[in-house]
Structure 1
Amino acid sequence: MELYEQFKLDEAWDSPHNAPLAKKMPDAFRSPDSPAGSDKTRFRVFEGQWKDKSPTTIFPAGNPVSMRNITDGTSNTVMVVEVGPDKAVEWTKPGGLNLDQPKEEFGTAARGIPVLMGDGSTRCFKRDIDNATWTALIGPDDRTVINWRDIEINHSTLSPKQSQILNHLKQIAVALFNYHDTFQRFPPADKHLVDGKSNLSWRVHLLPFLDQKKLYDQFHLDEPWDSIHNKTLLDQMPDLYQFNPQGKPGVTQVMTFSGKNTPFPGGLGPRLRDITDGTSNTIFFVIAAPDKAVPWSKPEDLAFDSANPVKALGNLSTPAFVVVMMDGSIRSAPVNLPAKTLSNLIQPDDGNIINVDLPTYKPR
């Protein structure tokens, strides 16, 4: 927030006050091969418009898009693209790419166009696909779903399985943020509580934000997770909740820490403004050991013990475990991390900002 608060929002991007702030472009907006000190970004969006109450892109002029407008599915809709160096712009300058001829907007890009999809997954699409296909990929509500697997280039150093694991983690994180955008808090929101308690896990309530609304609509929200009806849906757990190839059907290791002094103490879910230690300093969710797996629809997570927080993760067989921070970054936390350090990373508002460099997670 510190840099953001330096901008005068009622002035143009190139006003005498705002213009010098362009030199402070965050590294997140810089491509790996961008010149050092550049204030121009190659990460661009397509700017569209509203036509018959439908947006032509995720970023139409005027009113913003909501999740219900992305009827083609977030995993099928392009949100951000990386253009060639000749199409880079000052990162503070408003505006976007022209949707009329998408191919012309990429500039002198390489043979592949890196894209960020609406679900948070990253892809690289072929440079030479036609304008009609690009328009369909960019349009969130055109009722045209492209099989992007036919146009994808895989030049990652990760195996397809490793890429899938990372994308699943990103999709869960993005879904949590989209839930927050809709309900102004992370799950569960008030409408998802019955007598102050949740009948179903937060994983279930994320389904509409994971392109799984049809499955979500099958749940009886006013019944417990193990009611006669709801138990029949256990075997329909989405693949992105399964991180153990040998795991039992319908159980997951995707869990939050829960209880007093955690982001999820019980009852209503937290709001971003409740995370006063900073989202990059607070753990969102983790991948626990197989012995801690629970039925995915059961409202059960990891009980937090500040004296020995790693114990809740179960019998970990690796020297590190996966943590997704509340800023969406995916990290690897060593099992032997001091209990106090891990405890501080779990607590969202204890005032202890931990200076620990958790490495970026790379799947095995």
Structure 2
Amino acid sequence: MVIITILAALLVPQVQQAGSNPRRQYFKNQMKAIGLALHEYQNEHGCLPPAVVRDEQGNPLHSWRAILLPYLKTKRPFEQYQLDYRFDEPWSSPHNQRVADKNPKLFRGDWKISKNNSPTEERRNSKLVAVIDNSSYWPENQTRQIGKNRIVLIEVPELPGLWNEPTDISLDELINLTRTDRFAPHGAFALYDDGRVRWLTTGVFNPGYMDHLLQAP
């Protein structure tokens, strides 16, 4: 209860700021549709998709993002994307790379930030990722069912790579990013397992909070 109370206090002041930018609202809408797709996938398969599909030699073939594409095609705002991804080819095939290049904003956020007391703006981008860890919703070589009141996906600023690349981050890597102020001063969006998208302020991004929020029930 103490953690919930503190988080509520941290979240409230930033809600309006997070949704005031049209680009941020667009990305938030993407995340809501992705949350719905995850639930539809679980209804059909009994669990979340694997973080990565590998071949017999252990080479990565497709990420959870690619696996979700068939569940996103009819949802706003994904109707505008060209999602003719081929699962009989690896993520790095010329065709699948062209699909990624045509849809660079898929699973990615991109917005301008106004600096305090300055007319100049800087552009910031982020990538929606799964946090790979045995305690999270995305353990290595396993799948889990969606529970309640935990983060299932989170955006991380300034991560390289398009959405088709089957790479995410580990919990240790995320914790290290919190220590280097990667999320300062603007915080980030997180997709919860109940489908809600919440704006997390920088105060939440510390090892203790993140370890709790990412731990699967």
TM superposition score normalised by structure 2: 0.67
Q: Which residue of 2 aligns with 1:224?
A: 90
What does residue 109 of structure 2 align with?
Answer: 243
Select the residue among 203, 210, 213 that pairs with 1:345: 213
SS in 1 for 2:200: strand
Q: Is the 8 A contact 1:193 1:199 kept in 2?
A: yes
Using CA pairs under 8 Å that are at least 6 residues apart, name the structure with larger relative contact order, 1 or 2.
2
1:260 to 2:134 alignment: yes
In the alignment, structure 1 residue 302 sits paired with structure 2 residue 169:
yes
Bigger helix share? 2
1:233 maps to what in 2? 99
Correspondences of 1:142-161 after superposition (within 5 Å): 160-161=22-23
**Cα distance in 1 between the residues matched to 2:73 and 2:104:** 10
Preserved CA contact (<8 Å) 1:200 1:298 = yes
Residue 62 of structure 2 corresponds to residue 200 of structure 1:
yes
Contact 1:288/1:314 (CA < 8 Å) preserved in 2? no
Identical amino acids, percent of aligned pairs: 22
Name the CA shift for 1:194/1:271 in 2 (closer, same or farther; >3 Å): farther
Q: TM-score, normalised by structure 1?
A: 0.43
The total of aligned residue pairs comes to 181
Amino acid at match of 2:62: L
Give the root-mean-square deviation of aligned CA atoms.
3.4
Q: Aligned with 2:154: secondary structure?
A: strand
Residues of 2 paired with 1:268 and 1:335: CA distance?
31
| Partner-residue secondary structure (3-state), 1:264 | coil
Change (3 A) 1:289 1:158: closer
State the partner residue of 2:156.
288
Structure 1: runs of 5 or more not aligned:
1-156, 350-364
Q: CA deviation at 1:238?
A: 6.5
Gaps in structure 2 of 5+ consecutive residues? 1-18, 112-122
**CA 1:267–1:314 in structure 2 vs 1: closer, same or farther (change >3 Å)?**
farther
The letter of the residue matching 1:234 is A
1:332 pairs with 2:199: yes
For the pair shown, the structure with the greater C-alpha radius of gyration is 1
* Kept in 2: contact 1:187–1:268 (CA 8 A): no
Give the one of 165, 184, 187 matched to 1:320. 187
